[in-house]
Structure 1
């Protein structure tokens, strides 16, 4: 049964200041100042009036040491009524008709209700809980009983005052192997909250982990306390009592100070609403000379007393909204300090700095523009900087991908000309070099196996395991078209979901994710633009960065004179890399040029990058490496320009 809160407020409003008079009479207060509506607090010793009536809230609040707040319902329950009985008495005093039905009526069909445990002796229960600093009065008020074997019996009532679950605990220290608690046999166990039928829904609710903690809070003076029924890991009580819990404007969680309690607290807060939930911080106080420290509210009561228990409850900490941060607490991002993955190519790294951890980068380009080579070179650079990599290659078998890595790692110094058995020339890497490469990077480079499914869930599971087990931080998916997602009319939505999941993954694990996406059909000599990526526009819109590659054509070079000076400068390169969109620095359409060496499959812009020696290569070389054709042509063009300038001056 859920009693209308608006009706309760109307009843209080109808009583007006009689609320104060009734509370004073029920609590036996003799020093009430009717003019100033205040008196000494009846719940603790004091010599000045700190118990003050609030005419708008219709309640008294102690502004002294105990901080208690009591309205007319609290007082009726303090005198022994349940919540339903207290409301019924309020409506009678206010002369307001209200249908309660029949209190105590069983409403669950096919439910095996427990039977009441007859109780003529509570001596063992009294003695046991007296050791735990809980009084007979508190035990009697909460109807804690004793069975024939001396065990404590906790009666769980629903909000209609119906006995719905009975739980037993030994009234002695539990030995190893003994049951700590159990429920009544041959009866059902709806996960109600202990003491929920004596709770004022207009006041803050304290939820404890166990019945002794609930008893301790009530012993200390915080009456609006309940405890969970079946242990910290069983949260079915939230679903069972959700409508009842929704009535509270403030909820306080008091879990044990151990791993199970911390987990319970973390799981309860978002489900109950972090905006209204506070948490009690149980301090670790030494328990005598036992070598143990306090971990729950009952132990705090035993070691520190009632005032400390009440202080901890009243000083419960606000639970932050997990999804937001106070912007004043956020450190501004200085990109110089943000780690990430570099390509090892100065022309690109000067523009992008790094592919930052926590971001998704899209790489696109026309067929044959070198997307796979660029990303393999990026992976090689990452591995050489001790950044583990994971690669999904949807188009090339694992063995072919390994060859691309080997050629880039080997470099032009370690690649030789050879003739195949069929008489065809090819480039060869020595067995010794391959062994050194394998040994150097073993355990840090991982590739998704050819024989595994290419579904997004399977790929993300593999990425997750590789990040967590092997510490990979550079993850490359080549390419988007090879990932199995939804089809037909759901395709564009599925593409958007895929991008979102990859971004979420990058942020969660603080890794750099690079995804290859094919462009739409484009004319030769055209840079990849923001609308040229195949699929939904959200691919580019959501990604942090988008990079496009295209090859420089012979036709462009032949017609160089008709282009701008900036474009003519790029035509000497083999490939133009366009930073299509850079959300990190707020820029777009930045072009840089790169040369390409087919033998080593390396991109480069100068001799250092062409002749780069990765960390596996410990050999000493006496002879300089000959200039590649591109740099040789650039050098000759520079010389021709210089001599031409001299001749012009002489002329």
Structure 2
């Protein structure tokens, strides 16, 4: 074997492939072949490491992108019109003829080029950290169907036979990294009704298509099977009709199945305990036994009672215990949400300008450092449409690794609706949230408002909370695992800073009733747990 400088390249040894190791394979540690010029190649997953000389050259020239001309790809039977559509050019790099595939970021800015040499060697020019799928910039952000191929040539082959009218894209670097790039583009893909994976007809391609399909909503992903190696071979051999059949005949990926009773023994005895994190207040732990993933905890109270502050306290505590959270606050901007979380470790209400000015910036920075890598926010810009919100939550869990999501609050989604319309939207939203929690196994902390109870006294004056008071629909109570009602008499001089927390529903242990009292400190903005006696009756002030 010769390298580009005509030096003899010899095999040195076998070693463990880092890509296989990440996917819990190559236990023997001998999938990767290492050669004398430093490059390595895995014969199992096709992972490739460049030689030392290639890395030096690429580092020196990686930001110098090149231009070429639009030409027919004669051997590939791809015409100039299709190449123009995708921006795919023929040019020269280091005096060698090359193919130039452009890659764009979410703002449709050209940021990288995938360079293909005649010997099928590839290099990247530019910055590939933010690249999307090849061709993604050419299509609108929704539609009936999008086809995903394993390479740029295959994507253009499929697009050509469809007259370049329907969305076709490809992953940037083949099957080995397909899952990574599908995850990055998940929010865009979820806007299509059907996502067709048309990867190569080999073991690696088939496996990658299944791994990628699992990332999408149930029954959205479909897997096409090709009779030949790939889409371009189908085009070259004039099997276009069969290629179209592979797309329209793609089977829906569905992991669901019928399980016979005789096959359920392992299910019966397996340890299926859910991931759980203790609450920061003992009273809640005594009755609820922690906050679990795969469950919905609904928090409800009268206006101004302190629901948002409870969310901040719980969210910061989850972060301190090593969890990544998504914070979706629909009644406030990201600035207010960040300041609310950072206020917790500071014990200062830094959303108030006068208070913030008195806190040294280094102290604020230290507090911010505690949350910055463990939380994500949704900058909604006033968009609270239910379907869009669900896609954002899916991305926070799948794309960002959030284990818990705080959604404050449900009621704003149905703001302005009344009667049947309000109930229908709440029912649909709760059903979709329930399905999403079950599918992705994250913990959802959901805030919901109350309707005014009958009688003279409202919840703001300390009226008892009840499941029947949840605003708009019984679906909130039915689909939640835990429902917590918070009560505070805001007009009482003696008890206006004391909140009663009541378990209204508890699917996990069945225990309900008052679980704790929380005291609000006006100086620090913090909630602390007071002494709790399980036998204590409701305070006189709440009667």
TM-score, normalised relative to structure 1? 0.40
* Higher share in strand: 2
Structure number with bigger Rg: 1
